[in-house]
Structure 1
């Protein structure tokens, strides 16, 4: 029994072909949208790749770019096929192409769904990449004279200003690393030397943060040094007063930023997947209804269209049997003829007695 059969008249078939022709051209536009979304995501990731560890984050934008290009090609071909299907005679030249086209389109539609799911599953990789990347960027913040790292100070400062954040998880992260280069420390001052000696690793640690952590909305001048020393500042209590620093960590700020982008792209791709699935369903109905017209031999007659000619169970069983027979055929081909290595039995006539050798003349 066919799955979801629908009866089509000549008018309905022609109308379906025309609608599918339009929808395929719209699908070309959606393919361009997928391509643009992939490029946009790739640019956004590359823009801050210095703040991220290598975690295969490019797989999602590359997937979207590839799917977008394939969508343009497949739907362009689909538009041509549907346009010709208005005429039954023109359908004959596409008859052998239709089923492979539908199968390819099915797997393409499945890849669109995979792309949407990848957008939502990227959160874990992104979180880990940001944690490691921001930690390393803060560690190398002071290396302004080291090749390959001299740009990180500017990158981190712009990040904290633009996203209104401070540190990895918070401003206290700066207390645990030396973010001032030794070349800017006055070694003639005893306080500086004592601070360096007091640290096991010989680092100059202090309760201060870079200028980019300062909250520009605070009415008080920024307090970025001796943050935990109440006596160093007038009318100041760091435990009770709201500091004039950005409270949010840059890890959370960037994670929220990219998560919003990924969810927006994922929702868009999911909508495109539903649209592509509807187009694929329409093309399948058009193909089966036109094939039934050819069987009946009357272009003006009514015909049935369906998604599957048999039920899901019967179709699965049939495909399984085909695969099983192919497996047996391959097994026989690999083993060769079973009679090749079998020793043959000699037959010596009805009595099965070997012939005596002829006497030789002496």
Structure 2
């Protein structure tokens, strides 16, 4: 029994082909959108690549870029096919192409869905990359004369000013590392201070960035009860929130595009099956049935499984025989033109 069958007249088939032609061109635009989203996401990640540890974060924008390019090609071809399907005679040139095209488009829509899910599932990976990346950036904050690290001080300061954050998880992270050039007993110069970029510019009091935990060093000051004029939020959480919002927005857009591509694919499938039934009936003006699957899901899965199983057995026979067609034939002896075996010689007693 067919899955979701519908009846289409000649007029309905022509209108469906015309609508699908327009929708395929719109899908080309959605492919450009996917490509643009991938480029945007890639640029945003590369902006702060120095603050992230090595990870597979680039896999998401790379996939969106690839899917966007493939969408443009597939939907351009789909528009041409649907345009020709208005004429039944032109459909004949695409008859053998449409089913492989639909199968390829189905797997393409799955890749679009995978891209959307990847946008929602990379929170943990992003958090880990930021945690270790910010830790290393803070550690090298003082190395302004070291090649390859001299720019990190500016990068961290810009981050803390722009995102109004301080440290990795909070301002106390700066107490645990040597962020100024100096030396102590064990080679580290630790103090309860933070860089100037941690100062809250909205505070009415001058910034207290050194001896933060020393109440006697400042007038009318108690660091435990008074609200410090520093940014309280850690930069890891600030960046995580920033990138999470971007990922969720991109993921939602990609999910909407997936639903749109799936609807176009469904329409192309109905058009293909209805036109094939027209060819079977031999009357271009007749009413024909269209469906998603000719049999039920279970029967279709069983049929495909049997085809794969038979193909596997066929490949095993070919491998075992090494291409010899006579490998399974019993050997036969040839005894001359009459094919009569000779008489055995008498044994001497």
* CA distance 1:334–1:64, change in 2 (3 Å): farther
Secondary structure (helix, strand or coil) at the match of 2:168 reads coil
Q: Deviations over 1:136-187 (max 9, x none)?
A: 00000000000000000000000000000000000000000000xxxxxxxx
Q: Distance in 2 between matches of 1:268 and 1:176?
A: 42
Q: Distance in 2 between matches of 1:6 and 1:30?
A: 28
Q: CA deviation at 1:352?
A: 12
Which of 296, 315, 323 is equivalent to 1:330?
A: 315
Question: Contact between 2:321 and 2:327, CA under 8 Å: does it hold in 1?
Answer: no
Q: CA deviation at 1:355?
A: 3.2
Moved more, 168-177 or 83-92: 83-92
Q: Distance in 2 between matches of 1:98 and 1:347?
A: 55
Q: CA deviation at 1:340?
A: 3.2
Q: CA deviation at 1:198?
A: 9.9
* CA distance 1:197–1:33, change in 2 (3 Å): closer
Q: Distance in 1 between matches of 2:106 and 2:187?
A: 62
Q: Distance in 2 between matches of 1:300 and 1:13?
A: 10
Secondary structure (helix, strand or coil) at the match of 2:289 reads strand
Secondary structure (helix, strand or coil) at the match of 1:160 reads helix
Say yes or no: does 1:280 pair with 2:265: yes
Q: CA deviation at 1:202?
A: 1.8
Q: CA deviation at 1:338?
A: 8.8
Structure 2 regions of 5+ residues with no counterpart? none
Structure 1 regions of 5+ residues with no counterpart? 180-195
Q: CA deviation at 1:341?
A: 8.0
Q: CA deviation at 1:201?
A: 3.4
Question: Contact between 2:88 and 2:275, CA under 8 Å: does it hold in 1?
Answer: yes
Q: Distance in 2 between matches of 1:198 and 1:212?
A: 23
* CA distance 1:354–1:21, change in 2 (3 Å): closer
Secondary structure (helix, strand or coil) at the match of 1:14 reads helix
Q: Deviations over 1:43-77 (max 9, x none)?
A: 00000000000111100000000000000010011
Q: Distance in 1 between matches of 2:25 and 2:330?
A: 67
Q: CA deviation at 1:124?
A: 1.0
* CA distance 1:348–1:297, change in 2 (3 Å): closer
Q: Distance in 2 between matches of 1:299 and 1:347?
A: 62
Q: Deviations over 1:231-253 (max 9, x none)?
A: 00001100000000000000000
Q: CA deviation at 1:336?
A: 5.3
Q: Distance in 1 between matches of 2:115 and 2:96?
A: 30
Secondary structure (helix, strand or coil) at the match of 2:7 reads strand
TM-score normalized by structure 1?
0.90
Q: How many residues align?
A: 346
Q: Distance in 2 between matches of 1:212 and 1:95?
A: 66
Match of 1:60 in 2: 60
Question: Contact between 2:200 and 2:207, CA under 8 Å: does it hold in 1?
Answer: yes
TM-score normalized by structure 2?
0.93
* CA distance 1:50–1:198, change in 2 (3 Å): closer
Q: CA deviation at 1:312?
A: 0.6
* CA distance 1:341–1:155, change in 2 (3 Å): same
* CA distance 1:318–1:202, change in 2 (3 Å): same
Q: Deviations over 1:177-220 (max 9, x none)?
A: 000xxxxxxxxxxxxxxxx9996632000000000000000000
Secondary structure (helix, strand or coil) at the match of 2:182 reads helix
Q: Distance in 1 between matches of 2:259 and 2:193?
A: 53
Q: CA deviation at 1:339?
A: 6.0
Q: Distance in 2 between matches of 1:198 and 1:317?
A: 74
* CA distance 1:269–1:199, change in 2 (3 Å): same
Q: Distance in 2 between matches of 1:355 and 1:334?
A: 34
Secondary structure (helix, strand or coil) at the match of 1:198 reads coil
* CA distance 1:360–1:74, change in 2 (3 Å): same
RMSD of aligned residue pairs (Cα, Å): 3.2
Q: Deviations over 1:223-278 (max 9, x none)?
A: 00000000000011000000000000000000000000000000000000000000
Q: Distance in 2 between matches of 1:177 and 1:210?
A: 12
Q: Distance in 2 between matches of 1:284 and 1:24?
A: 13
Q: Distance in 1 between matches of 2:321 and 2:184?
A: 71
